[in-house]
Amino acid sequence: MASIFQSAVRRSSRALYSTVFKAPTRQALRSTSAFQYSATTRDFTSLHQQSGLAAQSQRYRSQLAKPRSQLRWFSEKSGNDLRQWGFEDINATLPAEEPSPTHTPVLIDVREPAELTGTGIIPHALSIPLASQPDALFLTADEFKTRFGFPKPLVDPKHQLVFYCKAGVRARAAAQLAVQAGYDPEQIGVYDGSWLDWERNGGKVERWEGHD
């Protein structure tokens, strides 16, 4: 009788233990994992958003911290806002002989000397290489004449200057530099197609032998 009673007690104890300390099912484990992953994802997304906002704020502060001269660089006329010249425009203005000092427009080739030696230049264009002489238009008239051997282009709205290079990129940069150097934006132009367009259209070519 006692043996039967003890067996019943043991069975009841096992049933109670299973109920209280029941192992989680696969479904329960999946739900728990999903919850934890979802929470982690939300935290990561929140951190990512905060990081993006911080980066934007830093960029904004950096812009405000720039010197005013640099800010004006972007507020002044850009190369795209300046007058655009095409092949026909330039070809129609080329002088038949050596131009006078007041002839306009003045063509300015901003390629490097090695490039000019290989291709030549548009007739009567001035060579003022941008990469090796970036300060050229900031020089005084005397300094410019000493360095290049010809007069510095006039700062005069009626005296048109047209910049060109190989494909237009350096020409636009040089035009912006000219404005920064004090030239009137109304007198500055860019031959956007530059040498490649001139050559493609069969424009006249003058041999370049360097500055005198």
Q: What is the pTM of this model?
A: 0.62
Residues of the chain with pLDDT under 50: 1-2, 4-5, 8-9, 12-13, 15-79
**What pLDDT score does 115 carry?**
97
Cα–Cα distance for residue pair 178/135, rounded to 1 Å = 10
Cα–Cα distance for residue pair 121/207, rounded to 1 Å = 6
Contact status, residue 136 vs residue 182, Cβ threshold 8 Å: no
DSSP codes of every residue in 33-90: HHHHHHHHHHHHHHHHHHHHHHHHHHHHHHHHHS-HHHHHHHHS--TTTSEEE-HHHH
pLDDT, tens only, 115-149 = 999 999 999 999 999 999 999 999 999 999 999 99
Element (H, E) at 163: strand 161-164
**What pLDDT score does 3 carry?**
52
Torsion sign over Cα 202, 204, 207, 208: negative
**What pLDDT score does 176 carry?**
96
**What pLDDT score does 102 carry?**
72
**What pLDDT score does 104 carry?**
87
